[in-house]
Amino acid sequence: MKTKIILDVDTGIDDALAITFALGRKDAELIGVTTCFGNVTFETASRNSLNLLDLLGRSDVPVYAGAKGPGDESEWQVREHLYRIHGNNGIGNVELPVSKRKVEEKKAWQFMAEACRKYRDELILICVGPLTNLAKAIELDREAVGLCKKIVIMGGALTVKGNVTPYAEANIYNDVKAAQKVIDSGLDLYFVGLDVTLQTIITGNDIMRWKQLDNEKAGKLYEAASYYYSNEFEVVGGAMHDPLAVEAALDPEIITEWFPVNLMVEQEGVTKGRMIGDKDLLNEPRKRIHYGLKVNGERFVKDFEETVLNVIS
């Protein structure tokens, strides 16, 4: 049986690639996309997700809009440097055909909680944006969220420098309160952070076969991916942060070391957003966080390229 998945995104180029990758997984059924502020505003994340799903012929996948800013309390101002990474429209300035669809009426967190109650251990939640929507789903119905098979989060930088500050990774930094609420829920959490995503970098060579396809889907996806890998780290390539979280959810062995640990999130000061061992829980034998430290990057890049190729062919 296919595993049902919900992808919580701030679409974003690597989010768009994660959606595409998820659609290509034979072992998964994407039952919904939930959106959040982050790389872009939540409106743009919703629009990009709808446009992309329709372009890929998957207008059957519903999109639920979520938080507009940290705690869903204030409007989000997109940080200047993000335009360089994701383009002015979040997907590398690539114009996707405009979907006629709208987001669903239900809020992202309602959908998440209801789906968890309905599908229980048939469902995995994969969160690849700030953790606001997940925190709100937990607030709404902690018991329901606890019924799902697994929660996988793209977030954190434990053994490497952060990407927003030297201490913090973007998804955690963008709503530190939400991240701590999610941790405080006592649920088991699987974190795919920069420690591993920076080991899954793509360059033009890796996706050459996408370029050779002669159709609109492939053209748009290739263009967005090339914007990302030529801009994020200039020469080195683009880290597949969000697609790796999808892979780790469905095939946890891609992460060759999951570190069991109890972490907390620093809430303020220069270290705001840093995830660090929670000393109050140091002697607690039960470790709730499973933090990815090592990855089979080569295998991932191959699987990813091939799976996306099938979707866009």
Kindly list the catalytic residues: 10, 241
Using rule CB under 6 A, residue 232 touches ligand BDR: no
Using rule CB under 6 A, residue 35 touches ligand BDR: no
Placement of tokens 């890998």 in the chain: 229
Placement of tokens 């929507």 in the chain: 133
Using rule CB under 6 A, residue 290 touches ligand BDR: no
- Which one of residues 7, 31, 63, 128 is an interface residue with ligand BDR (CB under 6 A)? 128
Find how far residue 254's CA is from the centre of its chain: 17
Query: How far is the C-alpha of 175 from the C-alpha of 187, rounded, in Å?
Result: 18
Min. distance of Cβ 124 from ligand BDR in angstroms? Answer: 17
Query: How far is the C-alpha of 94 from the C-alpha of 88, rounded, in Å?
Result: 9
Using rule CB under 6 A, residue 247 touches ligand BDR: no
CB neighbours of 298 closer than 8 A, spacing ≥ 6? none
Helix axes 13-24, 216-231, angle to 10 degrees: 140
Decide: helix, strand or coil at residue 53: helix
Using rule CB under 6 A, residue 274 touches ligand BDR: no
Nearer Cβ to ligand BDR (15/175): 15
Min. distance of Cβ 197 from ligand BDR in angstroms? Answer: 7
Min. distance of Cβ 154 from ligand BDR in angstroms? Answer: 5
- What are phi and psi for residue 54, nearest 5 degrees? -65, -40
The DSSP secondary-structure symbol of 190 reads E
Nearer Cβ to ligand BDR (223/242): 242
Query: How far is the C-alpha of 35 from the C-alpha of 7, rounded, in Å?
Result: 8
Min. distance of Cβ 310 from Ca ion in angstroms? Answer: 23
Using rule CB under 5 A, residue 175 touches Ca ion: no
| Burial environment of residue 224 by CB neighbours within 10 A (0 to 12, 13 to 18, 19 or more) | buried
Using rule CB under 5 A, residue 12 touches Ca ion: yes
Q: Which two tokens stand for residue 83?
A: 């335009």
Restricted to residues 41-60, the positions that interact with Ca ion (CB under 5 A) are none
Which residue, among 39, 46, 242, has the nearest Cα to 127 in the 3D structure? 242
Using rule CB under 5 A, residue 127 touches Ca ion: no
Min. distance of Cβ 34 from ligand BDR in angstroms? Answer: 14
- Which one of residues 125, 153, 170, 224 is an interface residue with ligand BDR (CB under 6 A)? 170
Q: Which two tokens stand for residue 39?
A: 């790389």
Restricted to residues 201-260, the positions that interact with Ca ion (CB under 5 A) are 242
- What are phi and psi for residue 275, nearest 5 degrees? -100, 130
Using rule CB under 5 A, residue 15 touches Ca ion: yes
- Which one of residues 6, 7, 12, 255 is an interface residue with ligand BDR (CB under 6 A)? 12
Q: Which residues bind ligand BDR (CB under 6 A)?
A: 12, 14-15, 38-39, 128, 154, 163, 169-171, 241-242
